[in-house]
Amino acid sequence: MLLGSILYGTRGARSPTRLSADTHFVLPFFLGIVIVLFFQCVSALLCLTRRRGEAVKWGLVFYTVLMFSVVTVYTATYLNIQSISLIDNREFPGVEGVLPPGPLGYRWLIHSKALTGIVPNLMFLMGNWLADCLMVSSLFDVTPTRPGV
């Protein structure tokens, strides 16, 4: 998750240490790699097929948008949970014998709620299934063959 957050360029993924004067010029170039790759992928799917005279593969475009949306929702909800538990509820007293004190106990307490427990887990599973389906579909040759060639 930390690597994904870094690639999205989120503030929560950065180290709290003081940055030197040289790094504030370099840092924006490394932010948002996932977003840039998404737009490059969609533009390649839309433009390269037109150059070759082929039709746009709308299934792959839809699949790319769906995959990006699922991963973005997962990242946003997970970072929101991290922020709520580590910043807002650092002093959670815990429940005697049931939940430990601190952020971990608070995360377990809110885990049963839909937005903080079910949505991130569901998005994580959907993202993994989509990635696995793409890898499995690449094993099958679906290109039509012309008879006599």
- The whole-number pLDDT of residue 125 equals 92
Q: What is the DSSP letter of 95?
A: B
pLDDT at 25 over 50: no
pLDDT at 147 over 70: no
Q: Helices then strands (H, E): number in the chain?
A: 6, 0
Please say if the pLDDT value at position 137 is more than 70: yes
Residue 21 within any structural domain of the chain: no
Q: What's the pLDDT score for residue 27?
A: 44
Give a yes or no: residue 148 inside a domain: no
Residue 61 falls within a domain, yes or no? yes
pTM > 0.75: no
What is the distance of C-alpha 149 from the center of its chain? Answer: 43
Domain assignment present for residue 146? The answer is no
What average pLDDT does range 75-89 have in this prediction? 83
Tell whether 143 is covered by a domain: no
Angle formed at CA 45 by CA 39 and CA 50, multiple of 5 degrees? 130
Whether 117 is covered by a domain: the verdict is yes
Confirm whether 92 is domain-assigned.
yes
pLDDT of residue 3: 59
Distance in angstroms (rounded) separating the CA atoms of residues 118 and 144: 41
Residue 80 lies in a domain: yes
Rounded mean pLDDT of 44-55?
A: 74
Q: Span 7-21, mean pLDDT?
A: 51
* CA max distance for the chain: 76
* Total structural domains within the chain: 1
The pLDDT, as a whole number, for residue 82 is 83
Residue 8 has pLDDT above 70, yes or no: no
State which residues form the domain around 92. 2-15+27-136
